[in-house]
Amino acid sequence: MSVPQIILSIIVVVASIFLIATVLFQSGKSNGLSGAFGGSFETYMSKNKSGSLDARLARMTKWVGLVFVLAVLILNFV
């Protein structure tokens, strides 16, 4: 195994662990049983979630997922 393969393998492992953590820390998108039947109420807090922890975790999940996929593809071709 060459040095770039070792570095890419470490990036893949770290990205996969971070991806799992960010997905697990996100809250669910539905409100339980009431969300399944469309009985959720829109409040001020639910409308302004762009700066919340869930929004940041969703953005981080997308970026870490992209890094993970690119690292796996590059590792496959090296």
**In a domain? residue 73:** yes
Longest dimension (CA), the chain: 56
Give the total number of structural domains in the chain: 1
User: Is the model's pLDDT at 19 over the cut of 90?
Assistant: yes
pLDDT at 51: 76
User: Rounded to whole angstroms, how far apart are CA atoms 66 and 69?
Assistant: 5
Is 32 contained in some domain? no
The answer to whether residue 3 is domain-embedded is yes
Q: What is the pLDDT of residue 46?
A: 57
In a domain, 39, yes or no: no
pTM confidence score: 0.70
**In which band, very low, low, confident or very high, does the pLDDT at 76 lie, cut at 50, 70 and 90?**
very high
Per-residue model confidence (pLDDT) at position 35: 54
Any domain includes 33? no
Query: What is the Cα–Cα distance from 11 to 1, expressed in whole angstroms?
Result: 15
Mean pLDDT over 25-46 rounds to 62
